[in-house]
Amino acid sequence: MFLSDLVGKNIYVGKNLRGVCLGLGISLKTRAVKYLLCAENPAQKTQTDFAVSVSAITDIGAMISLTSLRPAHPNRCAKIFLDRPVFSFDGVFLGKVEDVEFRDWVATNLYTDQNEQFPVLSITACSDAVILRKELPYPLGQRIPAHRVSLYTDKSDPTVTKPVLKNAIRKNALIRLTLALPPFRLDLPERLNGVFRRKF
């Protein structure tokens, strides 16, 4: 799912219109999407009036339905909105936020209007603008192929983080993990043109 799938949708509790979704509140530590940032007036585009926990969402379709309206204080989270400027650690303008991708309410990638893509792990600050930290060393932030995630992490986190690397080192599987990531392919045949290859 994407941030653009939510922005502009009306928020309903039962049959009562309560507001409109403007953005997301995301934990920069865990990348979990914690809040919907909303305005009371559907015509309002920039100023948020309240936030609601994503745990209150019952359905997302043409509108967003909530079990109840319990406004929350979105502390310790980055507020991400579309069209906010994105800057590198050195102050280079990288475009404006075009979208944010998330799966199972965990943010994965940020996209700009200049066809750039950055892992959400690279965000160091976010409010009126998004500031990215220095480029992460390979392979931090890389997506782990779905069929390999359970081999390297007990969580459903599909990207390489420092704990995932430490876990792979403990299991003597760091090379196997690296070769499972693009641009490599771990699933090479064991026998190729009569030459045996080691099975990782």
pLDDT bucket at 186, cuts 50 / 70 / 90: low
pLDDT bucket at 197, cuts 50 / 70 / 90: very low
Q: How do the residues of the chain divide into helix, strand and coil, expressed in percent and rounded to 5?
A: 15, 40, 45
Using the predicted structure, report yes or no on whether residue 157 has a pLDDT greater than 70.
no
Q: Percent of the chain scored above 70 by pLDDT?
A: 86
pLDDT of residue 55: 92
Mean pLDDT of 161-169: 84
Measured distance CA(136)–CA(140) in Å, rounded: 6
Cβ proximity of 36 and 6 under 8 Å:
yes
For residue range 96-147, what is the model confidence (pLDDT) as tens digits? 999 999 999 999 999 999 999 998 888 998 888 999 988 767 777 777 776 6
pLDDT bucket at 191, cuts 50 / 70 / 90: very low
Q: Which of 83-92, 103-112, 190-199 has the lowest mean pLDDT?
A: 190-199
Mean pLDDT of 152-157: 64
